[in-house]
Amino acid sequence: MLRGFNLEHDMVTIHVIGRGGDARTISATPGISLMEALRDNGIDEVLALCGGCCSCATCHVYVETGPVEAQTTPSTDEDDLLDSSAHRQANSRLSCQLMLDGHHDGLVVRVAPEE
């Protein structure tokens, strides 16, 4: 239990800003990746061509607000893929590499520009 958050039953709320600046709030089940949550909720700007295998960088997002773990790049593979993007920023992440849990409730992400 995290501050009244039941990880087994509660949904994670995510605020998504699209490339055009449109904002949507979506809900996701804890335990799935941010990429899956975005695709499940019809965020078509996140292509995720590799299906979440951390091999294409087409699920690039910027973490605007969220836990510090979500704002850092944890793996060498993810870092290498982000380095290939002309749009990389300090808050860049591949959404396929962010596994959602109660700590991510209220996360704000912006879809990165298309390469």
Strand-pair category, 12-17 with 107-111: parallel
CATH of 12-111, one of 3.20.20.70, 3.90.1150.10, 3.10.20.30, 3.40.50.720: 3.10.20.30
pLDDT at 2 over 90: no
pLDDT (average), residues 87-112: 96
For the segment 31-60, what is each residue's pLDDT rounded down to a tens digit?
A: 999 999 999 999 999 999 999 999 999 999
Residue ranges of domains in the chain: 12-111
For the segment 71-88, what is each residue's pLDDT rounded down to a tens digit?
A: 887 799 999 999 999 999
For the segment 98-108, what is each residue's pLDDT rounded down to a tens digit?
A: 999 999 999 99
Q: Is the pTM of this model over 0.85?
A: yes
